[in-house]
């Protein structure tokens, strides 16, 4: 009787004939396998052993200086019809893309081991989870995928049961930027990535599968694959509300996912539970609510700026069993990055050269840590729940120095989709290119949606149907600045004050004032006790600038027009309604 793994075995054989590896290793995810890979990489310099007294089980990886971030201009969505990929994606015809990639893969693994990595995105027994297999020639990818996914024998068993999986083929190639591409074939559930060892380009379970391919699957199957954290907020009454929040990279997702309540809130009994810090898969449950899982098992977080002040939970999480990428090291081989503020100083920078602040920072601005989510002090016991957690609120946010208030609530689901579509943020080091430029990034998904944004907006709108018990939708801006260029809101743990207002709105317990852009809290609606906010700061954080919002909505109209003619009419009508209300 034929095995249900025949398709997988045939694919592995085909890849081996193309890439011609010296050996093939099927990954089982075991401790012994992991130890052998670590030892091999330490021997060849791929990993550097860190101070085992201060950071047991932890390692440093230094990537090629030209391979330190996602490369959106070299990332393609390859659909049969160009329009299906949309103007939000670079497109290449599938036949052309396969030919280009297969020419690069031809013989690329000679002298190398080809690793076959079966993995599951999401709890291994969850009906919401989806499986994949990544073939790679990078042992660094294997050890990272072991942290970031449920990898190995249990995943292979599920693949055999289900007889379906996402195919991902990766090679570091020559790490030549001119020979670097990441191709997605959503109609084939296939990914091909060549020429990069950076996590966002090489860990194919992450952005490639869990967002670009999964968003395509989600649209077909009636769920959502989103670039969102999932956090549980437990009130003093013992009720936990789960919130999904979308922010562009390096705009505070991990900080919010691991938020520690201010002292007064802790004394009152507030608790925060971390379910996920980056990706959220949601689908309607039998009761009409949206239920979410974190498809990842680990954190691939930005190290610079992580400190005992900004994110003590993240700092505690990475004290052991962590792979650091492109950070500096101290004289006694402890990891170090800008913002760490631990009283130590770096001896070597991220390139392994003596640290000279006049030459480059100690850590690359996009330096990373890979670590199991289970090590987080605020790790939620619900994170592995096969049914997922019910979502009470969805939050959109970005880095805006002006105009956008601290928080406002969407009027209804359709208005909320427009709020998400209007998101804008200043670019960060997580994407190659200029930093600090305002870029419209709907739902923080512009780099990650596997299909046309007009269809994506329509898919979101389709969830508003009879029997649905949809989450409330909010927008936040922690990054509003005053005329002196300083942030007006303290942020970090104090953001719980804003989340408390959201929960109060969900439970119908607190007020708001209606404006054309949505429902804003009055300063008295938030607990601001102990915060030193000037009158000018309050006016900016809780105010509404009608003239500024007119200009914003005019700019948004131009942005939505780029997705014509597929922008849903309901979204255009909602835009027109708000614009008319603005006068």
Residues 528-539 have pLDDT tens digits of 999 999 999 999
**Which tens digits make up the pLDDT trace of 360-396?**
999 999 999 999 999 999 999 999 999 999 999 999 9
Whether the per-residue pLDDT at 303 is higher than 80: the answer is yes
Neighbours of 506 (CB within 10 A): 17
CA dihedral 116→118→119→124, nearest 10 degrees, is -160
Measured CA to CA, the distance from residue 416 to residue 460 in angstroms comes to: 10
The class of domain 6-46+68-222 in CATH terms is alpha beta
Q: Comparing C-alpha atoms, which of 514, 262, 276 is closest to residue 382?
A: 276
Q: Are strands 240-246 and 228-234 parallel, antiparallel or unpaired?
A: antiparallel
**Which is more confident, 426 or 166?**
166
Joined tokens for residue 187 = 């109609």
Q: How many CA atoms lie within 13 A of 259 on its CB side?
A: 30
Residue 251 falls in the annotated catalytic set: yes
Q: In degrees rounded to 5, what are phi and psi of residue 536?
A: -65, -40
Other Cβ atoms within 10 Å of 35 Cβ, number: 10
DSSP state of 355: P
Burial of 438 (0-12, 13-18, 19+ CB in 10 A): middle
Q: Which of 208, 251, 280, 376 is catalytic?
A: 251
C-alpha to C-alpha distance for 472 and 395, rounded to whole angstroms = 8
Confidence of residue 251 (pLDDT cuts 50, 70, 90): confident
Q: How is the chain split among helix, strand and coil, in percent rounded to 5?
A: 35, 25, 45
User: Is the peptide bond prior to 285 cis by the omega test (within 30 degrees of 0)?
Assistant: no
Sequence spans of domains, the chain: 6-46+68-222, 226-296+381-582, 299-375
Q: Say what the pLDDT of residue 248 is.
A: 82
Predicted pLDDT of residue 226: 98
Q: Report CA torsion sign: 275, 276, 280, 281.
A: negative
Please state, in angstroms and rounded to a whole number, the distance separating the CA atoms of residues 41 and 141. Answer: 11
Domains 6-46+68-222 and 299-375 share a fold: no
Task: Kindly report the average pLDDT of the chain as a whole number.
Answer: 95
Picking from 70-74, 142-146, 233-237, which range would have the lowest pLDDT averaged per residue? 70-74
Q: Which residues pair with 301 in a beta bridge?
A: 369
Q: Torsions phi, psi of 415, nearest 5? A: -60, -40
Residues 318, 371: contact at Cβ < 8 Å? yes
CATH number (3.60.110.10, 3.90.1170.50, 2.170.8.10, 3.20.20.140) of 299-375 reads: 2.170.8.10
Given a cut of 90, whether residue 299 has pLDDT beyond it is yes
Using left for φ > 0, alpha for ψ between -120 and 50, and beta otherwise, residue 252 falls in left
Q: Residues 282-310: what's their mean pLDDT?
A: 96
pLDDT in tens, 494-507: 999 999 999 999 99
The string of pLDDT tens digits covering residues 176-227 is 999 999 999 999 999 999 999 999 899 999 999 999 999 999 999 999 999 9
pTM to 2 decimal places = 0.96
The tokens describing 100, both together, are 């280009």
Structure tokens at 208: 């490639």
Do residues 376 and 313 lie in contact, with contact meaning Cβ atoms separated by under 8 Å? yes
Residues 250 and 256: beta-carbon distance below 8 Å: no
- At which residue do the structure tokens 């956090």 appear? 231
pLDDT of residue 1: 42
- CATH fold label, 226-296+381-582: Phosphoenolpyruvate Carboxykinase; domain 3 (3.90.228)
Cα–Cα dist 423/247, whole Å:
9
Give CA–CA dist 489/405, Å, rounded: 10
**Whole-number Å distance between alpha carbons of 480 and 286:** 40
Using a pLDDT cut of 70, give the percent of the chain over it.
97
pLDDT of 226-236, one tens digit each? 999 999 999 99
Residue 115 tokens, joined: 């690793």
69, with CB counted inside 10 A (0-12, 13-18, 19+), is buried
CA distance 162 to 167: 14
Angle, CA of 228, 71 and 356, to the nearest 5°? 100
Backbone angles phi, psi at 498, to 5 degrees: -75, -40
- Cβ proximity of 132 and 204 under 8 Å: yes
Q: Report the candidate in 561, 215, 470 with the shortest Cα–Cα distance to residue 572.
A: 561
User: What does the pLDDT read at residue 458?
Assistant: 98
């Amino acid at each position: 009787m034929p095995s249900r793994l025949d398709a997988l075995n045939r694919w592995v054989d085909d890849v081996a004939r193309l890439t011609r590896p010296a050996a093939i290793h099927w990954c089982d995810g075991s401790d012994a396998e992991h130890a052998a890979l670590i030892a091999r990489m330490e021997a060849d310099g791929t990993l550097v052993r860190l101070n085992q007294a201060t950071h047991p089980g932890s390692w440093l990886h230094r990537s090629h200086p030209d391979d330190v971030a996602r490369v959106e201009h070299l990332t393609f969505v390859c659909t049969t019809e160009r329009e299906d990929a949309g103007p939000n994606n670079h497109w290449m015809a599938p036949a052309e893309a396969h030919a280009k990639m297969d020419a690069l893969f031809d013989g690329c693994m000679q002298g190398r081991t080809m690793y076959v990595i079966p993995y599951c995105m999401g709890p291994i027994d969850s009906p919401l989870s989806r499986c994949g297999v990544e073939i790679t020639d990078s042992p660094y990818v294997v050890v990272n995928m072991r942290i970031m996914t449920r990898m190995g024998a249990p995943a292979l068993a599920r693949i055999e049961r289900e007889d379906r999986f996402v195919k991902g083929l990766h090679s570091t190639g020559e790490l030549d930027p001119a020979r670097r591409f990441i191709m997605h074939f959503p109609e084939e559930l296939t990914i091909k990535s060549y020429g990069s060892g950076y996590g966002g380009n090489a860990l194919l379970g992450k952005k490639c599968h869990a967002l670009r391919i999964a968003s395509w699957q989600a649209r077909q199957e009636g769920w959502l694959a989103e670039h969102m954290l999932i956090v549980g907020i437990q009130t003093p009454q013992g009720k936990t509300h789960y919130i999904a929040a979308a922010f562009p990279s390096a705009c505070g997702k991990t900080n919010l996912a691991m938020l520690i309540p201010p002292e007064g809130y802790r004394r009152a009994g507030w608790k925060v539970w971390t379910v996920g810090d980056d990706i959220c898969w949601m689908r309607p449950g039998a009761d009409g609510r949206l239920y979410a899982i974190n498809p990842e098992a680990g954190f691939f977080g930005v190290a610079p700026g992580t400190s005992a002040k900004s994110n003590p939970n993240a700092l505690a999480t990475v004290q052991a069993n962590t792979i650091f990428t492109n950070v500096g090291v101290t004289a006694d081989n402890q990891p170090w990055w800008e913002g760490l503020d631990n009283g130590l100083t770096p001896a070597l920078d991220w390139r392994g050269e003596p640290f000279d602040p006049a030459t480059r920072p100690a850590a690359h601005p996009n330096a990373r840590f890979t670590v199991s989510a289970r090590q987080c002090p605020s790790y939620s016991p619900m994170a592995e729940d096969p049914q997922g957690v019910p979502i009470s609120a969805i939050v959109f946010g970005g880095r805006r120095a002006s105009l956008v208030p601290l928080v406002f609530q969407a009027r209804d689901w359709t208005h909320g989709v427009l709020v998400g579509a209007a998101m804008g943020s200043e670019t960060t080091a997580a994407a190659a290119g200029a930093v600090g430029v305002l870029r419209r990034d709907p739902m923080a998904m512009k780099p990650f949606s596997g299909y046309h944004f007009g269809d994506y907006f329509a898919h979101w709108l389709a969830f508003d149907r009879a029997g649905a018990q949809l989450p409330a939708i909010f927008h936040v801006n922690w990054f509003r600045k005053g005329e002196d260029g300083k942030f007006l809101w303290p942020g970090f743990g104090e953001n719980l004050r804003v989340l408390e207002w959201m929960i109060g709105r969900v439970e119908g317990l607190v007020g708001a004032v209606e404006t054309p852009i949505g429902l804003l809290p009055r300063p008295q609606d938030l607990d601001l006790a102990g915060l030193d906010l000037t009158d000018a700061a309050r006016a900016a954080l809780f105010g509404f600038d009608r003239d500024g919002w007119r200009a914003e909505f005019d700019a948004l109209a131009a942005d939505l027009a780029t997705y014509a003619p597929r922008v849903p009419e309901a979204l255009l009508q909602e835009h027109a309604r708000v614009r008319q209300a603005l006068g």
